[in-house]
Amino acid sequence: MRQNLGFLVLAALALPVFLGAQEPFPRLQVVPWNGHKAAASLTFDGSDTSQLDVAIPELTQRHLHATFFLTANRTTRKDEWRGILPAGNEIGNHSLDDFWAGNSIPPNAESEVVGAKNVLQKEFGINLYSFAYPSIPITPDLEALVAKGHLFARGGDGKTDILTPSREPDWMDIPSRGTGPKVSTRTYGKWVEECFRKGGWLVWRIGGLEGAPPDRQPLSKRAFNQILSALQSKDIWVGTFLEIGSYFRAQKIFEKAATAVDGKDGREKWTWQVPPDFPKGVTLKIRFDKKMKVSGSWLTVYPDDCPGEVDGRSAYTRVRQGKNLLRAGADGVYSIHFDAQELETDLTFIDADESQPESGKTPIQ
């Protein structure tokens, strides 16, 4: 006998909730890093032309994407920079001049930050979401200024930690690690291993590459290729600063959604708000816990409406966004649209003596 508990509109990391007959829903979780074990973003600063000559060909050959923080008044070869966008690379803001005397915030800081964004957006015909600080102290006032026009900001020589999925980042000061001729390739390999082991997001900060002047801290072509090979040798999501940052921020919003309980019909509605000017089309991957506890006993949870073999008491889930019924992959993972700002699911329990159709579905892993 099947017992349907109605619909649940979800938008967060849902703890088990009790509806109607005091039955819980399984916990819903965001799958970190778009289904990968870890994440990495390669970011380049200062409009150095060695990035066009060395980095872009290597990235293109490997089908990888990166973020290039351009200094608005020092950017040359603009048609070539424009040409990196169709391949999926990101252009970000690194201020007007990248020269803030005395390592302090200049009186014209607003034009350096906001003015540079306007110049770059007009030049390249795109929306800019990301900022990279010059090498100066990052103060609350500076963060507030950057936050006026950007969703994400990468730090400089300060924080260097790897962000794990459970962390709540300061979106205006994302940690990064800098490369250069004084850092050994063995150290870079250790960074990749640490990123993978911790299951976190490592942001790489690169100035110049082979052929750049010494003050750009040039990274050799050989070392750059070794970094790329090390990243590609593991299940690490290599994406732009904006791409991974958007997924991570959407996850954190999803986990904090407000709820409204309707005790009359046993529904619980979860909704979330998308920040203003957030990138469109962000897709989150979610899944339900494999097991849930009901009346002191554990039961298996299956995706969609095909539970397969039933051992004792089991349940299946269905997920909707708007009028669309979403289907889980073979691994029990659903892809949802963050823009929709709501998610709806129902849960049906199945008794052990009920005949089940052949489905080929496996329990949620």
**In terms of domains, do 57 and 175 share one?**
yes
**In terms of domains, do 298 and 346 share one?**
yes
Secondary structure of 16-54 as H, E, C letters: CCEECCCEECCCEEECHHHHCCEEEEEEEECCCHHHHHH
Q: Which two tokens stand for residue 13?
A: 């990391």
What is the block-wise mean pLDDT of the chain (365 residues), using blocks of 10 residues?
Answer: 45 33 62 98 97 98 98 97 98 85 70 94 97 87 93 88 95 96 96 98 97 93 98 98 98 83 53 94 88 60 57 69 87 93 77 45 41
- Domains in the chain, number: 2
Determine the pLDDT at residue 268.
57
Determine the pLDDT at residue 221.
97
Residue 246 maps to a domain: no
Closest C-alpha among 78, 69, 264, 29 to residue 153: 69
Residue 69 maps to a domain: yes
SS3 state of residue 314: strand
User: Is the dihedral angle over the CA atoms 180, 186, 187, 191 positive or is it negative?
Assistant: positive
Helices (H), 199-276: 221-232, 241-254
Residue 68 maps to a domain: yes
**In terms of domains, do 180 and 265 share one?**
no
**In terms of domains, do 13 and 74 share one?**
no
**In terms of domains, do 120 and 210 share one?**
yes
Determine the pLDDT at residue 181.
93
- 52, HSE (Cβ side, Cα atoms, 13 Å): 17
Residue 241 maps to a domain: no
Domain enclosing residue 208, as ranges? 38-234
Residue 242 maps to a domain: no
* Domain stops at, among 199, 234, 269: 234
**In terms of domains, do 105 and 128 share one?**
yes
Determine the pLDDT at residue 289.
73
**In terms of domains, do 64 and 174 share one?**
yes
Residue type, 209: L
Alpha carbon distances (Å) from 165 to 30, 154, 199, 248: 10, 17, 8, 8
